[in-house]
Chain A
Amino acid sequence: NAGVMQNPRHLVRRRGQEARLRCSPMKGHSHVYWYRQLPEEGLKFMVYLQKENIIDESGMPKERFSAEFPKEGPSILRIQQVVRGDSAAYFCASSQGTGNGEQYFGPGTRLTVT
């Protein structure tokens, strides 16, 4: 039973470029969460999605960041016009449900902005 898949594992972008991070949840899971790990801030919630719906994006920066979880295919976290401060590890997690649902994490995508 495959776990949560993320790709790419490492991504290097120059300032001003776009970054696209992909996440495929565990089989049977329909709830996806994105978290970001910054060196000085620890792991922080960004967004929670179900198929075709953004449920809570309260942790997302207001500009340049967006997320989607289409009916078919992986969830995508998109960062436009990246800046050096976006350099971080981005983790995706999935669960079967919410409220008493264990979250399983993918290996993360390490974004480096040069």
Chain B
Amino acid sequence: GIQVEQSPPDLILQEGANSTLRCNFSDSVNNLQWFHQNPWGQLINLFYIPSGTKQNGRLSATTVATERYSLLYISSSQTTDSGVYFCAVEASGGSNYKLTFGKGTLLTVNP
């Protein structure tokens, strides 16, 4: 099946810093989503971005489908940004509905 790799696995920032999280995937995809799992365990949808670039406030994401990677940018980080960021993809063809998740990036933002 499709493989999803996220980097870095852990990231520690000071409040106000910027960061870039990366997601590589091994095959073509119909769907790519970024999630934030907050300290209470809830999965929050950040972006639905199978290709192109989107922005939402301090967050933006870019997916280059032809090169099989996506980037999540967090600017002016805040302590509430702490948590785990997951990339998940839906492979093209075959059983194209289940999301395959990466292992996540654990982000800690210190005040």
For A, the interface residue count at a CB cutoff of 8 angstroms equals 27
* Residues of chain B contacted by A103 (CB below 8 angstroms): 31, 33, 99
**B52 to A: closest C-beta gap in Å:** 13
For B, the interface residue count at a CB cutoff of 8 angstroms equals 23
Identify which of A59, A98, A103 gathers the most chain B CB atoms within 10 Å of its CB. Answer: A103
B100 contacts the other chain (CB 8 A): yes
- Out of A44, A58, A99, A107, name the residue touching B96 (CB < 8 Å): A99
Q: Within A16-57, which residues are at the interface with B (CB < 8 Å)?
A: 31, 33, 35, 42-45, 48, 55-56
**B2 to A: closest C-beta gap in Å:** 12
**B89 to A: closest C-beta gap in Å:** 11
**B11 to A: closest C-beta gap in Å:** 17
**B33 with A102: CB separation less than 8 A:** yes
B64 contacts the other chain (CB 8 A): no
Q: Within B36-66, which residues are at the interface with A (CB < 8 Å)?
A: 41-43, 45, 48, 50
Per the bound structure, the CA–CA distance linking A31 and B31 in Å amounts to: 16
- Out of A45, A91, A105, A108, name the residue touching B98 (CB < 8 Å): A45
- Out of A31, A45, A58, A110, name the residue touching B99 (CB < 8 Å): A45
* Residues of chain A contacted by B45 (CB below 8 angstroms): 102, 104-105
B73 contacts the other chain (CB 8 A): no
**B50 to A: closest C-beta gap in Å:** 7
**A102 with B43: CB separation less than 8 A:** no
* Residues of chain B contacted by A59 (CB below 8 angstroms): 98
**B42 with A33: CB separation less than 8 A:** no
Per the bound structure, the CA–CA distance linking A55 and B95 in Å amounts to: 10
**A105 to B: closest C-beta gap in Å:** 4
A–B complex contacts, Cβ < 8 Å, 11 sampled: A35-B99, A43-B99, A43-B101, A45-B100, A48-B97, A48-B98, A56-B95, A95-B97, A102-B48, A107-B42, A108-B41
Chain B residues proximal to chain A, CB less than 8 Å: 30-31, 33, 35, 41-43, 45, 48, 50, 86, 88, 90, 95-104
